[in-house]
Amino acid sequence: MTDEERERSQKKFLITFAKNANVLLSAKTAKVHRSTVYEWLEKSEEFSILYHQAEMDANDAVRAEIDRRGRQGWLEPVYQGGAKVGTIRKYSDTLLVFLARSRMPEYRDASKLSIDAQVNATTTTKNAGEVLLDLRSASSAQLAALKQIALELKKNEQ
């Protein structure tokens, strides 16, 4: 593939990917194998940046559709005796719940971190209090850091 062909394929892939967030379908549209896309991601910093921007665009489109279907709804035709007699506005409660969970920590499922009894026993011996954490608003990076701390504590106890 020449540089020109690669650039054309990458551009076509990125435009499609920004709309559908699907690597396989976007690769087919660009007439490349999906493994080629992953090679581009590994080898080209510029493509990697553009890929992640396209991914964010696709995510925004999904968020907009969740909002539209959850809050604005959509019109569905109503038939009676085989003839269309009107429309009814329908809403997606499920999508509205997902929207609420993504934006408001109080609607998220409670997360719980469990540390084995040895660590709890040591903590209880040193400190009679118990620490409870509400992790619903924690980011994945914060949860990963907390997991690492728990693993370190467990390792130190052994």
Domain count within the chain = 3
100 and 113 share one domain: no
Q: Is the pLDDT of residue 2 over 50?
A: yes
Q: How many other β-carbons are positioned within 10 Å of the β-carbon of residue 153?
A: 16
Domain around 96? 71-105
pTM above 0.85, yes or no: no
Check residue 105 and give its pLDDT. Answer: 83
Distance CA 84, CA 90 (A): 17
HSE-CB at 89 with a 13 A cutoff on CA atoms is 6
131 and 119 share one domain: yes
Q: Is the pLDDT of residue 11 over 90?
A: yes
52 and 94 share one domain: no
95 and 130 share one domain: no
Helices vs strands, H then E, count in the chain: 7, 2
- Indicate the range of 5-14, 17-26, 116-125, 136-145 predicted with least confidence: 116-125
Check residue 118 and give its pLDDT. Answer: 38
144 and 94 share one domain: no
Give the pLDDT mean for 125-147: 68
